[in-house]
Amino acid sequence: MDYNEIKSLLGTEADNLLNHKCTGITKDMIHAPGPDYIDRVFEHTDRNNLVLNNFGRLFNQTGRLAGTGFLSILPVDQGIEHSASASFAINPSYFDPENIIKLGIDGGCNAVVSTLGVIGSISRRYARKIPLIVKINHNELLATPNISDQTLWANVDQAWDMGAVGIGATVYFGSQNCRRQIQEISEAFKYAHELGLVCILWTYLRNPKEFIKDGKDYHTANDLQSQANYLGVTIEADIIKQKLSTTSRGFLDLNFGRTDKLVYDKLATDHPI
């Protein structure tokens, strides 16, 4: 897809989106992706050579974005998180774990993330062909009444034994159980790094009683999400997965936590980029 096709798809929003330049936090202040990303950024961290090798596989082994410094990772844990029937009934072929991996390969992805059961059932055949990542904790919907809590379903050794390049985990920041989740995943990430595995964190906000006010949902507020991301890298997540921000001013409107008005007046704007 070329530039003109992208402009056509964006329609009247094209100029606003494609020509926007951030002035609060400028491009030279961030570590932008690029072919040299591992050497430029991660080489200077405490990650050992085994982690850097797996980073190299993740960024460069396969997929349409290989070698660019950008990643396209297919995450499929919906069979647990949203139930298998709700996720796969529309296309029953994905009840077969092998088809999830084939989708990642055919779609030109750099890697596939899935559950212990999915990765374990196909790892011997596919671990050499596309980088695999094991999601080690989940929320499930069979509990009655439904709860929102991430529970460990797998351990780091299982991921390493099956040849995965990394592990993934979720922390529900803002939830009543987030302190326990932070401790569990911090310990898991430390051990995973010792074994040479890349660590990916789903930094999701979750507290319907506190983060929804007057009908407005602040779970995707960019200021709250940014703080969750900051907490995520504090436990040495190598890659952060977040939900796309849709609003701002979460700290101010909820009268919650601590922030500074400079964030809203100078550093950030209402622009989606």
Residue written as tokens 């991660």? Answer: 42
User: Which whole-number Å values give the CA distances from 249 to 218, 224, 259, in the listed order?
Assistant: 8, 8, 10
Burial (Cβ within 10 Å: 0-12, 13-18, ≥19) of residue 23: exposed
Distance CA 178, CA 147 (A): 13
Distance CA 58, CA 33 (A): 14
* β-strand pairing of 239-241 with 216-217: unpaired
Residue of 216, 241, 243, 266 marked active site:
241
Distance CA 97, CA 114 (A): 9
**For the chain, first and last CA: distance in Å?**
21
Distance CA 27, CA 30 (A): 6
Active site residue 241: yes
Catalytic residues: 241
